[in-house]
Amino acid sequence: MFDKVGIVVKAGDGGNGIVSFRREKFVPFGGPDGGDGGNGGDVLVIADAAVSSLKMLARKRYYRAANGKNGGSKKRHGKQGENLRLAVPVGTVVSYKSQIGDKTIIADLDQPGEQAVVAKGGKGGFGNTHFATSTNQAPQIAQKGEEGEENSIILELKLIADVGLIGYPNVGKSTLLAAVSAAKPKIASYPFTTREPILGVVEVGRLSFVLAEIPGLIDGAHLGRGLGHDFLRHIMRTKVLIHLVDGSSSSPVDDMIGVNNELSLFDSSLAKKPQLVAVNKIDLPQVSGRLAEIKESFASIDAKAFFVSAATGEGVSELMAQAMRLLQSAAKPEAAKIKKVFHPKPRF
């Protein structure tokens, strides 16, 4: 898999400025005319819809942009070093890697054409023309070009899921994902078992969609609490959400509202995503004994919930079928956006 690639990028060094003096017939003391060096080329990462994987970039470890050329006499500027553009798939996240291995995200290239400078080219040095003063009209100094930046970067391709599986910790997201797909997430009776989004392919008849467990959503997630922020960005890309709540909680409906609040605090468009709510763990007697009451509490806020048991599979296939239908209708407006082009026939 090439969904993560680490490379080193080096921007071009700036060209040197030079020391030079005008030499003309009949001008005994020509002034300084040393030109400036050209800037070194930058290294950029650019999202390209025609690129589908990071495989090509993984072939090399070191990438460098061209150096700037030195300045010339007669105040000639050195040529700029050409930028190096590395094309990556849309949906690539770019981070710097520090020497101790820490990662800092610098760009999330979501849209075709979006780009990020990952190493800045060095500035060209000044030629001696810049150093002439009233007392020193024949400066013998010029500036060296700056070195171009060198950085270790990590490129990660975010796998884009169609459906996000959200909910507070420990509600049974992993259990549900394991029940409907071949994914094998760790399941345990304590919160934060899942620490990174996990994907699985769900088959519904002849169709399928990619379901992602989004872990770590707690109150304050929009502020970065829990495993918060990073994962909320993942949900931005999904088209439909399955919102799982624990039927054995004191108030499943309040849990749903709590998580939804976090979503809208993070980004109002998240709260508007089509969402299916499912009350889980209905196999437990303390849950099955109060189904009517839970149903009533959802109805009182005009919400409808599915009732499922990820453990026994009850109600699960209906939930997935509904997610598939919702996904199909969510995908339709995209198709309608394609404009028809009419080519009028030429008249003779």
**Contact set with ligand GTP (CB under 6 A):** 169-175, 187-189, 191-194, 215, 280-281, 283-284, 309-311
DSSP conformational letter for 132: -
* Alpha helices (runs of H) in 123-216, residue ranges in sequence order: 173-180
Please choose which of Mg ion, ligand GTP, none residue 280 contacts, taking the beta carbon within 5 to 8 angstroms, the exact cut-off set by kind.
ligand GTP
Of 121, 61, 116, which Cα lies nearest the Cα of 93? 116
Q: Nearer Cβ to ligand GTP, position 156 or 213?
A: 213
Please choose which of ligand GTP, Mg ion, none residue 309 contacts, taking the beta carbon within 5 to 8 angstroms, the exact cut-off set by kind.
ligand GTP
Q: How far is the CB of 327 from ligand GTP (least distance, A)?
A: 22
Does 280 contact Mg ion by CB under 5 A? no
β-bridge mates for residue 5, sequence order: 155
Q: How far apart are CA 179 and CA 317, in angstroms?
A: 10
Positive or negative torsion for Cα 322, 323, 326, 328: negative
Q: Nearer Cβ to ligand GTP, position 65 or 179?
A: 179
Q: How far is the CB of 232 from ligand GTP (least distance, A)?
A: 15
Q: Nearer Cβ to ligand GTP, position 6 or 169?
A: 169
Q: Nearer Cβ to Mg ion, position 194 or 309?
A: 194
- Of residues 194 through 223, those in contact with Mg ion by CB under 5 A are 194
Does 128 contact Mg ion by CB under 5 A? no
Q: Nearer Cβ to ligand GTP, position 80 or 181?
A: 181
Q: Nearer Cβ to ligand GTP, position 67 or 309?
A: 309
Does 175 contact Mg ion by CB under 5 A? no
Look at the chain and count its residues. Answer: 348
Q: How far apart are CA 94 and CA 46, in angstroms?
A: 10
Q: How far apart are CA 17 and CA 129, in angstroms?
A: 9
Please choose which of ligand GTP, Mg ion, none residue 243 contacts, taking the beta carbon within 5 to 8 angstroms, the exact cut-off set by kind.
none
Please choose which of ligand GTP, Mg ion, none residue 127 contacts, taking the beta carbon within 5 to 8 angstroms, the exact cut-off set by kind.
none
Please choose which of ligand GTP, Mg ion, none residue 283 contacts, taking the beta carbon within 5 to 8 angstroms, the exact cut-off set by kind.
ligand GTP
Q: Nearer Cβ to ligand GTP, position 204 or 284?
A: 284
Q: How far apart are CA 193 and CA 238, in angstroms?
A: 22
- Tell me the per-residue interface mask from 178 to 197 with Mg ion, x by CB under 5 A, - otherwise: ---------------xx---
Q: How far apart are CA 80 and CA 76, in angstroms?
A: 12
Q: Nearer Cβ to ligand GTP, position 6 or 191?
A: 191
Q: How far apart are CA 264 and CA 53, in angstroms?
A: 32
Does 174 contact Mg ion by CB under 5 A? yes
Sequence-separated contacts (24+) of 76-79 with Cβ below 8 Å: 76/35, 77/35, 77/36, 77/37, 77/38, 77/124, 78/15, 78/16, 78/35, 78/36, 78/37, 78/38, 78/124, 79/15, 79/38
Q: How far is the CB of 208 from ligand GTP (least distance, A)?
A: 21
Q: Nearer Cβ to Mg ion, position 165 or 294?
A: 165
Q: How far apart are CA 251 and CA 245, in angstroms?
A: 9
Q: How far is the CB of 190 from ligand GTP (least distance, A)?
A: 7
Packed helices 228-237 and 252-266: angle between N→C axes, nearest 10 degrees: 80
Q: How far apart are CA 157 and CA 250, in angstroms?
A: 39
Q: How far apart are CA 102 and CA 96, in angstroms?
A: 8
Q: How far is the CB of 237 from ligand GTP (least distance, A)?
A: 20
Please choose which of ligand GTP, Mg ion, none residue 284 contacts, taking the beta carbon within 5 to 8 angstroms, the exact cut-off set by kind.
ligand GTP
Does 67 contact Mg ion by CB under 5 A? no
Please choose which of ligand GTP, Mg ion, none residue 310 contacts, taking the beta carbon within 5 to 8 angstroms, the exact cut-off set by kind.
ligand GTP
Which residues sit at the interface with Mg ion, rule CB under 5 A? 173-174, 193-194
